[in-house]
């Protein structure tokens, strides 16, 4: 968990707007996330949580506003007051700082767990294979899969596949990890094993933004919880405040249905 510092935030979103045709999905989202902080985004389906997460690593282009990770505007270079979109290579370089774990595991089915984890470091970063393999084995052990390195995705449970996906993201040594409802595709009995890995990561000081419906996880792990609805952040604060004593009527209504 984070400690208060005077450092510039690792993530800074400023008046971010996103629309798909006539549908305005994000309506001026502003959010700072400090290094080492865990922020959980809660809210109903369709509130813009996942779209905002995808904008942070430029999987979706913003229509207005901007997002910084460190001192870089993600997806763009700034000249005066104008933004110019970066080329694919420059965007790929920026994304190396940002790990993302999706609802679906997106593992390569023809590769073993170990091969999935080393693919990025070897193929993208040019890490020597022996070095990548050693780190991958450490990461698979860390997520509780040290005995599954030669297993293919079809031989793994959903929870195990998601833990491989987490190890794969960590193998790129990101500064920031984004989790987009990482347990939503899992059977209920498999959710805990993934959340346990995420709790462990939070304790290491890794900066994390997590879209989740797991209220208990948010209460235990998050430094701050942001409640989103209608493409806006309606309420943000410590879990004890947002979950225990919500101030916005929409937050209270939502929590009354899910708690």
Under the banding of pLDDT at 50, 70 and 90, the label for residue 102 is very high
Under the banding of pLDDT at 50, 70 and 90, the label for residue 6 is low
* Digit-coded pLDDT (tens) for 61-93: 999 999 999 999 999 988 887 888 999 999 989
Q: How far apart are CA 242 and CA 31, in angstroms?
A: 16
Give the whole-number percent of the chain exceeding pLDDT 90.
88
* Digit-coded pLDDT (tens) for 26-38: 999 999 999 999 9
Residues 6+ apart with CB under 8 A from 11: 31, 32, 33, 56, 67, 68, 69, 176, 207, 209
Residues 6+ apart with CB under 8 A from 134: none
Q: How far apart are CA 2 and CA 246, in angstroms?
A: 22
Element (H, E) at 37: none
User: What is the reported pLDDT for 7?
Assistant: 77
Strands 176-180 and 98-101 come out as: parallel
User: What is the reported pLDDT for 5?
Assistant: 46
Are 47 and 254 contacting, i.e. CB atoms less than 8 angstroms apart?
A: no
Q: What is the DSSP letter of 87?
A: P
* Digit-coded pLDDT (tens) for 169-186: 999 999 999 999 999 989
Please determine, for residue 3, whether its predicted confidence score (pLDDT) is greater than 50. Answer: no
* Entry pTM: 0.94
DSSP string across 169-207: HHTT--SEEEEESTTTTS-HHHHHHHHHHHHHHHHTT-E
Please determine, for residue 4, whether its predicted confidence score (pLDDT) is greater than 80. Answer: no
| Dihedral of alpha carbons 148, 149, 155, 157, sign | positive
Residue 29 structure tokens? 């989202």
* Digit-coded pLDDT (tens) for 232-258: 999 999 999 999 999 999 999 999 998
Q: How far apart are CA 240 and CA 3, in angstroms?
A: 17
């Amino acid at each position: 968990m984070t400690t208060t510092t005077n450092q510039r935030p690792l993530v800074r979103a400023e008046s971010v707007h996103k629309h798909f045709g006539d549908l305005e999905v994000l309506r001026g989202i502003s959010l700072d996330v400090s290094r080492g902080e865990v922020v959980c985004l809660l809210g109903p389906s369709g509130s813009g949580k996942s779209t905002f997460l995808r904008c942070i690593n430029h999987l979706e282009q913003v229509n207005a506003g901007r997002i910084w990770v460190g001192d870089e505007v993600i997806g763009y270079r700034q000249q005066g007051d104008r933004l110019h979109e970066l080329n694919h290579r420059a965007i790929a370089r920026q994304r190396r700082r940002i790990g993302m774990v999706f609802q679906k595991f997106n593992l390569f089915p023809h590769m073993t767990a170990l091969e999935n984890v080393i693919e990025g470091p070897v193929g993208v970063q040019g890490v020597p294979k022996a070095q990548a393999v050693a780190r991958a084995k450490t990461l698979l052990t860390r997520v509780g899969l040290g005995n599954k390195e030669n297993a293919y995705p079809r031989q793994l449970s959903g929870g195990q596949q998601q833990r491989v996906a987490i190890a794969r993201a960590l193998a790129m040594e990101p500064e920031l990890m984004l989790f987009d409802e990482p347990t939503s595709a899992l059977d209920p009995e498999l959710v805990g094993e993934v959340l346990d890995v995420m709790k462990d990561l939070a304790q290491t000081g890794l900066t994390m933004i997590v879209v989740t419906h797991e209220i208990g996880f948010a209460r235990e792990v998050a430094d701050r919880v942001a409640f989103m609805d209608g493409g806006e952040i309606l309420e943000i604060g410590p879990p004890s405040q947002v979950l225990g004593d919500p101030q916005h009527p929409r937050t209270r209504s939502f929590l009354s249905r899910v708690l």
